[in-house]
Amino acid sequence: MNLKVIVASIIIVGALIFGASTFMESNIEYMDFEMAQTVNKKVQVKGRWVKEKESNFDATTSQFTFYMVDDNNQEVKVVLDGAKPNNFEIATEVVAKGRFKDGYFHANELLTKCPSKYEGDGEAVKKTL
Amino acid sequence: MFGAALVKIAFASSILSTVLYFVVHRNPSDTVKKIARLFYELTVAGLVTASAILLYFILTHQFQYYYVWNYSSTDLPLSLLISTFYAGQEGSFMLWSLYTGVIGLVLLRYTAKRGYEPEFMAVFSAILSFLILMLVVKNPFKPIWEQFSTELLHVGAVPVGTTNFIWVDQARGLWAQVPLEGKGLNALLQNYWMVIHPQILFIGFTSMSIPFAYAVAGMLKKDYVSWIRVATPWTAFGSMMLGTGIILGGYWAYETLGWGGYWGWDPVENSSLVPWLVCVASIHTMLAQRKNGTYIKTNFVLSMFCFILVLYSTFLTRSGVLGETSVHSFVDPGMWVYWLLLIVIGLFAALGFGLLFSRWKEMPVVPVQHTLVSREFALFLGASSLVFASIFILIGTSSPIITNIIKGKISAVDPSFYITTTLPLGVAIALLSGLGQLLWWQNSKTNDLLKQLMMPAALAATFTVGTFIMGATHVAMIVFIFASAFALCTNVIVGWKIVRGNPKMAGGSIAHVGIALMFLGFVASAKYDDVKTLNLEQGKSVQALGYTMTYVGYQPLERGRFGFNVEVEKDGQKFVVTPVMFKENDEGSLIRNPDIVNMITKDFYVSPLSLESAGASDHDQEIMLLKGKTETYEGMQLTYLGYNFTQTKEKGNYLVMDIEVLYNGMKELVHPTMSNKGGKPTFTEAQLQNSEIALVIKGMNPSKEEGEATVTLEVTGIHGQKKLSAPKAETLVVEASVKPYINLVWIGTVLLIGGFLITIVRRIQETLKK
């Protein structure tokens, strides 16, 4: 009986340590561009797309390039692996996941936060009258 | 308002039913039981009617209701129009309550026959009242003018000619405008999966509450043993429905959302997977308890967690806590829903676990009779692996909450977290699902076991070597392949024997064969897929991944969609795939749907990225230069040095730019000009020597301030020829990929569901025997 309890406890503790360490490793921290420049790991940065600046999709490298400002108004060029995400144009906020590389932010993933499209906004209802 | 009243009546009557059923539990009385039953039926009647009313409002486009306006529109085809019923939170709670109510009618009769009605229905009805309470808070029948009172509510006379209005209070002259059109359904949801997937998923959610209700009922009755017998078919039913819902969601993502895969470890997916894993684990520990009475407490805990975890998953995905960490966009439903969900989780957990602890000492302790080489122990280890997998996924999915508490900053885990943590457990699950079939109850003789192991292990090893020769790499993957192949071989061998003996008993083996096939399909299609981004110029054949692809043009499809036809050829076989792209609305969000060539051994998956029209747009060729700063553009280094401004009678305002260009190793100064005479600007291009390139001014900021003066230039071919390079044909950019053996995933799913079905039938029959 005792042996069983010990074995079980070892397995459980081992699994928890394994889980916790993987969790800490793969946690992608939120930071601003300034901080992101100083760390050499995958991070995520929240901000807005600078619509006025150029943005394009390069078909040869399959990368989408655009400019983004973070919450501290620092503007950075972002190169995303992949095409322009759905809802990009109407997003009020974007979150880029990736790391800094040669002066630009190399993102592997881009999340878009849409304006509460399905929450009522007065403008939308006027259009449908 | 009638609908809202019905919801409130249903709420009150479900509470009454709960209370009365509880009274019957304390003091058995047939009369009270009949009344309790009546109130339950009244609840369901209220829900059915309210749902019918909501559906009627949707079908007849009654946009004076906020919900109808918010999610539907007049241009939707009937099936999608019906699906807007559950497109939003209010409606999906409606659907959830409706299914819970209706399934409850079945359960009422089922439990009545088996002596479990008062206790079970008391709990089940309590669960139903919570769901209806959500509807009371998030009312789907809210009039639109309550949402937009400033825009829509007016006092006084209605202007002549206004027809779309409703009197809110005629005595006070209060009237409201009614929209003529709804906002419509999110374009991403507009396909047939929207019709089927949420319905099955909600039946799955509903059925997760059944094991909880049985567990609590068992404790109320102080029946710690035979409740398992009554509950097992429903636990299997829940696993089947929720599992089907999850996999349909994955197929939806794969087939139409164009994520490239069927599983993205997204919070929404994860949060339905977690209760499913626990539910499946409980099937295994229930089996062990049926056989020799052990794992009594484990079964109570797991059964209760099925439902608690569904509530928690609802909290995660409905309360807005995940914020921007998911690709699903969540609407913040307001503090009401947030706190209500938290309170309800707390209440049900307190009820269940409070009861468990108060009964803890009473529960019989069955001495463990099995050895470590027994089927019980394999079942226990398998269930533990499932539970650990669910814990890891739960922790990963909750990471925005955890990091918020620990660090005060929200962050999510990388999807690799889930793979790293669940892969070893997947190996364990696969090995155990094979081993468990070979072991005897209580104790197996090691020699017998080894003899039986030989065949499947040898087959699995051969298979693994085969995949290795075919190019499987990564040690972890090879181990996983071996484990899955072992599970497959063992279960096929054992399953075949059972089918020939008594097919009714084969549910487990068939489900395990399904799981093993799914595991193999996961590895092949996700780890050994081949992806390439391709530019398909119209009419020009491109070879990649062993296929020849030709983009032949596009055609408009229904509802503003465009299909892009690509001919695909391989070994003389020809297919046409038609991926779809369209703008969702005026704001112009681009929606992309892939198209797939399904073959027996693989899928060829074509996901559209963009369409580059013939001749790039002007915009692409513009560059803005900051004074004194060098920019690189198409191999040129451009520096804006300054400008010269003159004003003369003949030429009007005359502006000459000084732009230094370094191109092909030559440096030169060029002078594009802009003149304005009589308010009409003209631009003169400046050509680069020995090239076909010219620069034209597009705009400027003549500020004297350092760092503000800019000029925008268009870089064109000389004499206004638009392109720098030879004009290109229209080009479709696609991501093409080959997904080997993805059919194994779908075949495995069908077998898994079939296995559950057989198990359900067998276990229901068993509950009637005695």
Is there a contact between B218 and B191 (Cβ–Cβ < 8 Å)?
A: no
B150, A83: Cβ pair inside 8 Å? no
- Partner-chain residue, chosen from B70, B151, B324, that has the shortest CB–CB distance to A95: B324
A57 contacts chain B (CB < 8 A)? yes
Lowest mean pLDDT among A76-90, B492-506, B538-552, B563-577: A76-90
- The set of residues, in sequence order, having a beta carbon less than 8 Å from that of B77 and lying 6+ positions away, is none
Is there a contact between B69 and B183 (Cβ–Cβ < 8 Å)?
A: yes
Pick B283 or B267 by higher pLDDT. B283
Phi, psi of B358 (to 5 degrees): -70, -25
pLDDT reported for residue B725: 45
Q: Tell me the helices (H) and strands (E) count for chain A, helix number first.
A: 3, 7
- Closest Cα partner for B108 from B6, B30, B23, B38? B38
- Partner-chain residue, chosen from A19, A30, A112, that has the shortest CB–CB distance to B392: A19
- The set of residues, in sequence order, having a beta carbon less than 8 Å from that of B542 and lying 6+ positions away, is B534, B535, B536, B548, B549, B550
Cα–Cα distance measured from residue B623 to residue B319, given in angstroms and rounded to the nearest whole number: 45
B69, A23: Cβ pair inside 8 Å? no
Confidence of residue B721 (pLDDT cuts 50, 70, 90): very low
Q: How far is B409 from chain A (nearest CA, A)?
A: 7
Chain B residues within an 8 Å CB radius of A87: 329, 589
Is there a contact between B436 and B370 (Cβ–Cβ < 8 Å)?
A: no
Across-strand partners of A48? Answer: A69
Cα–Cα distance measured from residue B59 to residue B85, given in angstroms and rounded to the nearest whole number: 10
Segment B531-559 shows an average pLDDT of: 87
pLDDT reported for residue B553: 86
Tokens encoding A92: 């009020």
Across-strand partners of B518? Answer: none
- For the stretch B17-65, pLDDT in tens is 999 999 999 999 999 999 999 999 999 999 999 999 999 999 999 999 9
pLDDT reported for residue B188: 78
Q: What is chain A's alpha carbon radius of gyration, rounded to the nearest angstrom? A: 21
> Residues in chain B, how many?
770
Lowest mean pLDDT among B34-38, B314-318, B566-570: B314-318
Is there a contact between B463 and B480 (Cβ–Cβ < 8 Å)?
A: no
Cα–Cα distance measured from residue B344 to residue B133, given in angstroms and rounded to the nearest whole number: 10
B417 contacts chain A (CB < 8 A)? yes
pLDDT reported for residue A28: 79
Lowest mean pLDDT among B231-240, B284-293, B423-432: B284-293
- Exposure string of B448-483, with b = 16+ CB inside 10 Å and e = fewer, is eeeebeeebbebbeebbeebeeeebeeeebbbbbbb
Angle subtended at Cα A47 by Cα A44 and Cα A53, rounded to the nearest 5 degrees: 120
Is there a contact between B228 and B173 (Cβ–Cβ < 8 Å)?
A: no
- Closest Cα partner for B244 from B759, B747, B750, B758? B750
pLDDT reported for residue B130: 94
Interface test with B, best of A54, A108, A117 (most B CBs within 10 A): A117
Lowest mean pLDDT among B117-131, B341-355, B635-649: B635-649
- The set of residues, in sequence order, having a beta carbon less than 8 Å from that of A28 and lying 6+ positions away, is A42, A43, A44, A97, B411, B412, B413, B414
Report percent pLDDT > 90 for chain B: 46
Hunting for tokens 């999850």 — which residue is that?
B246
- Closest residue in B to A129 (Cα–Cα): B179
- Partner-chain residue, chosen from A18, A57, A86, that has the shortest CB–CB distance to B589: A86
A30, B411: Cβ pair inside 8 Å? yes
B232 contacts chain A (CB < 8 A)? no
- For the stretch B344-366, pLDDT in tens is 999 999 999 999 999 999 888 88
What string of DSSP letters covers B690-721?
Answer: TSSEEEEEEEEE---STTT-EEEEEEEEGGG-
Q: How far is B413 from chain A (nearest CA, A)?
A: 4
- Partner-chain residue, chosen from A30, A42, A60, that has the shortest CB–CB distance to B414: A42
Is pLDDT above 70 for B545?
Answer: yes
- Closest Cα partner for B428 from B515, B503, B526, B493? B515
Is pLDDT above 90 for B441?
Answer: no
Q: How far is B327 from chain A (nearest CA, A)?
A: 6
β-strands B630-633, B636-648: how paired? antiparallel
B609, A57: Cβ pair inside 8 Å? yes
Is there a contact between B744 and B526 (Cβ–Cβ < 8 Å)?
A: no
Across-strand partners of B696? Answer: B714
Lowest mean pLDDT among B241-250, B333-342, B708-717: B708-717
Phi, psi of B470 (to 5 degrees): -70, -5
A62, B733: Cβ pair inside 8 Å? yes
B contact residues 156-185, partner A, Cβ 8 Å cutoff: 164, 177, 179-183
Segment B612-627 shows an average pLDDT of: 64
Cα–Cα distance measured from residue B316 to residue B341, given in angstroms and rounded to the nearest whole number: 10
- Closest Cα partner for B444 from B378, B511, B368? B378
- Closest residue in B to A125 (Cα–Cα): B179
Pick B124 or B640 by higher pLDDT. B124
Chain A residues within an 8 Å CB radius of B735: 62, 83
- Give the single-character DSSP code of A85: P
Tokens encoding B67: 């919900």
B contact residues 310-349, partner A, Cβ 8 Å cutoff: 324-327, 329, 331-332
Q: How far is A64 from chain B (nearest CA, A)?
A: 11
Q: Would you tell me how many other CB atoms lie within 10 Å of the CB of residue B437?
A: 22
Segment B158-166 shows an average pLDDT of: 81
pLDDT reported for residue B326: 58
Is pLDDT above 90 for A43?
Answer: no
Cα–Cα distance measured from residue B14 to residue B135, given in angstroms and rounded to the nearest whole number: 13
Chain B residues within an 8 Å CB radius of A57: 609-610, 733
B421, A90: Cβ pair inside 8 Å? no
Segment B500-512 shows an average pLDDT of: 91
Interface test with A, best of B533, B622, B732 (most A CBs within 10 A): B533
Q: Would you tell me how many other CB atoms lie within 10 Å of the CB of residue B276?
A: 23
pLDDT reported for residue A116: 47
- For the stretch B69-80, pLDDT in tens is 989 999 899 999
Chain A residues within an 8 Å CB radius of B591: 86
Greatest pairwise CA separation for chain A in angstroms: 74
Sign of CA dihedral B355, B356, B359, B363: positive
Task: Name the helix (H) or strand (E) containing A33.
Answer: helix A33-38
| Backbone dihedral region for residue B585 (phi beyond 0: left; psi -120 to 50: alpha; all else: beta) | beta
Hunting for tokens 């969702």 — which residue is that?
B584
Cα–Cα distance measured from residue B551 to residue B564, given in angstroms and rounded to the nearest whole number: 8
A86, B388: Cβ pair inside 8 Å? no
Cα–Cα distance measured from residue B259 to residue B454, given in angstroms and rounded to the nearest whole number: 42
Is pLDDT above 50 for B723?
Answer: no
Chain A residues within an 8 Å CB radius of B66: 120
- Partner-chain residue, chosen from B70, B411, B591, that has the shortest CB–CB distance to A29: B411
Q: Would you tell me how many other CB atoms lie within 10 Å of the CB of residue B409?
A: 11
Lowest mean pLDDT among A15-24, B43-52, B327-336: B327-336
Tokens encoding A110: 């881009």
Is pLDDT above 80 for A4?
Answer: no
Lowest mean pLDDT among A23-27, B111-115, B233-237, B301-305: A23-27
- Closest residue in B to A62 (Cα–Cα): B533
pLDDT reported for residue A74: 87
A92 contacts chain B (CB < 8 A)? no
Q: How far is B610 from chain A (nearest CA, A)?
A: 7
pLDDT averaged over every residue in chain B: 86
Report CA-CA distances (Å) from B752 to B239, B240, B745: 10, 8, 10
pLDDT reported for residue B390: 95
Cα–Cα distance measured from residue A82 to residue A98, given in angstroms and rounded to the nearest whole number: 13
B390 contacts chain A (CB < 8 A)? no
Report CA-CA distances (Å) from B98 to A53, B535, B666: 50, 49, 76
Is pLDDT above 90 for B106?
Answer: yes
Segment B414-423 shows an average pLDDT of: 89
A38 contacts chain B (CB < 8 A)? no
Is pLDDT above 70 for B454?
Answer: yes
B409, A116: Cβ pair inside 8 Å? no
pLDDT reported for residue A118: 43
3-class secondary-structure state, position B770? coil
Cα–Cα distance measured from residue B539 to residue B527, given in angstroms and rounded to the nearest whole number: 33
Chain A residues within an 8 Å CB radius of B403: 27
> Residues in chain A, how many?
129
ipTM confidence score: 0.80
Confidence of residue B726 (pLDDT cuts 50, 70, 90): very low
- Closest Cα partner for B436 from B490, B370, B517, B506? B490
B contact residues 65-94, partner A, Cβ 8 Å cutoff: 66, 69-71, 88
A102 contacts chain B (CB < 8 A)? no
Confidence of residue B560 (pLDDT cuts 50, 70, 90): confident
Q: How far is B85 from chain A (nearest CA, A)?
A: 14
Q: Tell me the helices (H) and strands (E) count for chain B, helix number first.
A: 20, 23
Tokens encoding B26: 């304390």
Pick B161 or B570 by higher pLDDT. B570
Across-strand partners of B556? Answer: B562
- Closest Cα partner for B363 from B308, B302, B294, B305? B294
pLDDT reported for residue B463: 93
Chain center to CA of B138: 23
- For the stretch A98-111, pLDDT in tens is 888 888 899 988 87
Hunting for tokens 């364990």 — which residue is that?
B428
A117, B332: Cβ pair inside 8 Å? no
A122, B151: Cβ pair inside 8 Å? yes
Angle subtended at Cα B295 by Cα B290 and Cα B298, rounded to the nearest 5 degrees: 120
B331, A118: Cβ pair inside 8 Å? yes
Phi, psi of A53 (to 5 degrees): -85, 160
- Burial of residue B218 (CB within 10 Å: 0-12, 13-18, 19+) is buried
How many Cβ pairs within 8 Å bridge chains A and B? Answer: 134
Cα–Cα distance measured from residue B645 to residue B465, given in angstroms and rounded to the nearest whole number: 78
Across-strand partners of B166? Answer: B176
